[in-house]
Amino acid sequence: MTRRIEAEYRNSWILAIVLFFLSILFPILTFTIAHEIKSEVSVFLAFPLVHLWWSVPALMGYLPFFYRNLVYHPKLMKMIFWLIFLWPLLIGILIMIDVASNLWMTKALFASVPFLSASLSSIIALVAEVLPLLADRISVYLNKVDVEVLSSIREKAIVIGHGEQFYESPKILEKGLPFIVKNRTRRAVVVSHIVLGVTTLNIPLNFRTKSGSSPIEYEEEYTLNKWVVVQSDSSQILQAPWKKVTNAMKKAEEIARQTERRPKFFIGIYDPFPNRKFWSKEINHRALFSEFASLEWMKKHPEWGKE
């Protein structure tokens, strides 16, 4: 299973890179050759292969970048499917009209944008290719649900003791592992489950294989007695029961022994309405176990901290 997920993730990237270069190199080569032989060509020759980025991944079983956000917008999704299907025909018609009119549309475009030339028209293809990706990434960054844990248990590259300070709250820790959910989206987030996940794969947690499998190799779920609503532009503190946390930590060590790989530990939430999970940054589960061990020590020494 592990090797299959890694292979599918690698293949999806190879496919994306190949399609990207095909759709970009075609107009670059076309306009470079036209420039060398002193020939004029239609600017719409920059577009014929751009639709490969949209259509081929779906045919190969990988969802294109924009599908996730459009799953619940069937009318818009239908329009995009029709655009993908008719794209070559539409571009062909535009090229025929442009050629028949002695490149009137191409010359009009160059007149309105003076710095363009026939050899640089492939910029249009590049914009058509990259802009949707950038818009999607910016949208994801600006509309995020962040799950943050204590700094003392975050996985980090620096050595402990370099200017760090820890302020422990034993009574809070006794109730469970605290974490904060920050909602920066435009809709309310409903938390019905707290999820603890373990994986040894270097793959983004939101990646899904053709069969729907995720990189998470083990999940420990806790169902909230009452769903928690985190309104837009607000935050909420939740706590994961120590029993569930310790179960996941033990499983992480077991997976490490079996696979001889370093396990990665995460805490997340599940929102049943969009059917999505939101994960924290990587947690150092050994540092987390140390926090829990100190909590057990405090139970045996109730006088500690009272002064």
Dist CA 140 CA 146 (whole Å): 11
Sequence-distant (6+) residues with CB within 8 A of 298 are 170, 304, 305
Q: Could you give the CA distance from residue 81 to residue 95 in angstroms, rounded to a whole number?
A: 22
- The 10s digit of each residue's pLDDT in 85-126 is 788 888 889 889 988 988 888 777 666 655 555 445 556 656
Q: Which long-range contacts (CB under 8 A, 24 or more apart) does 134-137 make?
A: 136/65, 136/66, 136/69
DSSP 161-199: TSS------HHHHHH-EEEEEEE-SSS-EEEEEEEEEEE
Q: How confident is the model at residue 200 (pLDDT cuts 50, 70, 90)?
A: very high
pLDDT digits (tens, 9 = 90+) for 245-263: 999 999 999 999 998 889 9
CA distance 222 to 196: 8
Q: At how many degrees (to 10) do helices 52-60 and 2-36 cross? A: 150
- Range(s) within the chain of domains with CATH label 2.60.40: 145-300
Residues of the chain above pLDDT 90, percent:
26
**CATH class of the domain comprising 145-300:** mainly beta
User: Could you give the C-alpha distances from 165 to 160, 161, 173, 290, 295, in angstroms and in order?
Assistant: 10, 8, 17, 16, 18
